[in-house]
């Protein structure tokens, strides 16, 4: 494929280890669970994701990093059963409450992370990972995901190396090392014998909230893992100048939708 072999798996691992966008802990997501439940449930993104899946209705689907059930609940209405896993107990509690409100009884939840042993899970036909593959070793995660699904896998991964507009980062003077971009994943899948397809989903808004200046700064701090006082002052200035003054809100996010059959 290349004149000289390239170790993309190692390249990803090194890039992921060096990025300023560090993976959130289960405690971080516990604290974010209620907010996520309110913002992600019934979003157009969910319909965009499911519409790209090949489902007949008799499948068992594994939802990896299920969060508050934004994808699990709609899928449960279309397939035989959903196996939902997450490393945040509060996310699983939000999902179970959502399922109860919707009268959904064909979901089983497991408190598991990407790194845990999945041998306790039942066999599944399809595995999905919606915006949840923030892992230190992408190749290992892709192989693990592929090996547990009898038929197909689908995931979404951020397009671009930053969860924050580079325009905002440049304005506030925040220098970052970007995160690994999505193109690592189809290359790694191809190197492991799979033939992935790629599509793109654009969300109506990015991860940076901008209803008011306090929410804007709080969103930046969450995404970046912190800002110093001077950067917060510049962020407030950016908000007043561009978001209020020019009605220029943070750009929508793009997600690569990657699908592949697991039978080689």
Residue 169 lies in a domain: no
Residue 197 lies in a domain: yes
Question: Do 208 and 216 touch, CB atoms closer than 8 A?
Answer: yes
Per-residue pLDDT tens over the stretch 236-264:
999 999 999 888 888 888 999 999 999 86
What 8-state DSSP symbol labels residue 39?
Answer: H
Residue 62: its pLDDT value, please?
98
Token reading at 242: 């561009």
Q: 152: Cβ–Cβ under 8 A, 6 or more apart, which residues?
A: 53, 54, 125, 126, 127, 259, 260, 261, 262
* Rg for the chain, CA atoms, rounded: 19
Residue 131 lies in a domain: yes
- E strand or H helix at 97: helix 89-102
Residue 233 lies in a domain: no
Q: Which residues form the domain of 56?
A: 8-163+177-207+251-261
What 8-state DSSP symbol labels residue 58?
Answer: -
Strands (E), 92-146: 107-111, 124-130
Residue 234 lies in a domain: no
Per-residue pLDDT tens over the stretch 38-77:
666 778 899 999 999 999 999 999 999 999 999 999 999 9
For the segment 130-144, the average pLDDT, to the nearest whole number, is 96
Find the CATH number of the domain harbouring 195: 3.40.50.150
Residue 63 lies in a domain: yes
Residue 236 lies in a domain: no
Residue 48: its pLDDT value, please?
96
Residue 172 lies in a domain: no
| 3 state SS of 222 | helix
Half-sphere exposure of 151 (CA within 13 A, CB side): 14
Residue 182: its pLDDT value, please?
97
Report the domain count for the chain. 1
């Amino acid at each position: 494929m290349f004149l000289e072999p390239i170790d993309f798996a190692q390249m990803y691992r090194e890039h992921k280890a060096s990025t300023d966008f560090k993976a959130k802990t289960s405690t971080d997501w516990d604290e974010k669970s209620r907010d996520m439940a309110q913002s992600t449930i019934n979003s157009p993104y969910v319909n965009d994701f499911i519409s790209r899946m090949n489902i007949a209705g008799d499948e068992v689907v594994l939802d990896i990093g299920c969060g508050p059930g934004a994808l699990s609940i709609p899928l449960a209405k279309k397939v035989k059963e959903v196996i939902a896993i997450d490393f945040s107990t509060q996310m699983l509690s939000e999902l179970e409450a959502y399922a109860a409100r919707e009268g959904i009884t064909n979901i089983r939840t497991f408190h598991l992370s990407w790194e845990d042993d999945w041998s306790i899970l039942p066999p599944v036909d399809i595995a999905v990972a919606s915006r949840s593959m923030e892992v230190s070793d992408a190749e290992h995660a892709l192989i693990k995901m592929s090996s547990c699904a009898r038929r197909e896998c689908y995931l979404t991964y951020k397009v671009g190396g930053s969860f924050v507009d580079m325009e905002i980062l440049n304005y506030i003077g925040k220098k970052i090392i970007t995160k690994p971009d999505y193109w690592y994943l189809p290359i790694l899948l191809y190197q492991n014998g799979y033939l992935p397809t790629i599509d793109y989903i654009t969300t109506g808004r990015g991860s940076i909230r901008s209803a008011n200046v306090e929410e804007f700064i709080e969103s930046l701090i969450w995404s970046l893992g912190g800002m110093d006082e001077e950067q917060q002052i510049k962020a407030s200035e950016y908000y007043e100048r561009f978001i209020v003054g020019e009605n220029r809100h943070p750009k929508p996010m793009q997600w690569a939708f990657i699908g592949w059959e697991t039978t080689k």
